[in-house]
Structure 1
Amino acid sequence: MTPGRSATPPPNPPGTPPKAGTLTSPPQVVISKGSARFTAEGQSVCLPDDIESMEFPATYMAFPPYTVPGAGTIKFKLRDGHKTKRTSSAGKPVVIDSGPLDYEITVKTPAQMPNPAVPPTPPMLLDPTGTYTGTANFVVVVSKPVTAS
């Protein structure tokens, strides 16, 4: 699974905080073992919890005016198209490749910008946004098609 590069920023009226950010170094996530009770092409198959329970560090850049990147954690949320309708393992659907998935970055260290005001104001202004959302690309590497529904 390879996360996408950015969240698409909506128009931002002057003087309002940004509503989206860009991952500054998009991580590539590799899932080495799924928890389904069967394999496909010799590889373990994932259940939705295998992906949606992952949480890992991410660096983001808030859209202007913030020039110092922020940091947080990123989690993925599968869309219905990623889950089988009939094939299951232990009563749960299995994960299939089907386009983009959603992600959410929870900000731990806000992005910053130098304060243009004269001292004694704070030296940096902080991005007030607590979470960012966007889409990532979900890629399953297989040498031949596997059919599941």
Structure 2
Amino acid sequence: MSRFILIDGDKANFIPAFGKAIVTVKPGNLKASGKATLKGKKVCVDGDEKKLSVPGCMYISPPYVIPGTGTLKIESLGPDQKAMKTNTGGKKVLLQGSIFKAKFEVQSPAQEPPKPPAPPVPDPMKQYSGMGNFTTTNKIWLGT
């Protein structure tokens, strides 16, 4: 099935639920490195998704309700997000597709409110798993 090809500046949108963590998500911008271009913008190819990073996102994970921060990244693409046939410069192009696997890497852990005289308790988790999808400004060029 043909799907729209992703181009430079297209968005990776993250779903706020990352397991039991709730992340205040922001979209990430894809940085394309393909040889081909569409209206002056490079095409996204296999590997470009690994460079996407959205730092400074706040999160909580009950009972750790004092917000912490971390970085959103794409863990792996869905099976319909990498072309089987369409390529540029010897690399498969990325497609809008459906859902990718995402990860949230904790930089500053959320904390459980203190129970005096004890201090706040930090969230022990270093990473959470979630999902996301792509939106594209390309409404012309399809890949398979």
Q: Same fold judged by TM-score > 0.5?
A: yes
In structure 2, the residue matched to 1:14 is: none
- Separation (CA, whole Å) in 2 of partners of 1:146 and 1:90: 17
Q: Which has the higher strand share?
A: 2
Which of structures 1 and 2 has the bigger CA Rg? 1
The alignment-based identity, stated in percent, is 29
TM-score (norm 1): 0.78
63, 69, 72: which one pairs with 2:70?
Answer: 72
Closer, same or farther in 2 for the Cα pair 1:108/1:8, shift >3 Å? closer
Match of 1:36, SS? coil
Match of 2:47, SS? helix
* Structure having greater relative contact order (Cα 8 Å, sep ≥ 6): 2
In structure 2, the residue matched to 1:111 is: 110
In structure 1, the residue matched to 2:129 is: 133
TM-score (norm 2): 0.80
Alpha-carbon distance, 1:103 to partner = 1.1
- Separation (CA, whole Å) in 2 of partners of 1:68 and 1:130: 16
Closer, same or farther in 2 for the Cα pair 1:131/1:8, shift >3 Å? closer
- Separation (CA, whole Å) in 2 of partners of 1:72 and 1:147: 34
- Write the deviation string for residues 63-99 of structure 1: whole angstroms up to 9, x where unpaired: 3212211112221132221100011123221111101
The within-5 A match list for 1:40-51 is 40-51=38-49
> Gaps spanning 5+ residues in structure 2: where?
1-10
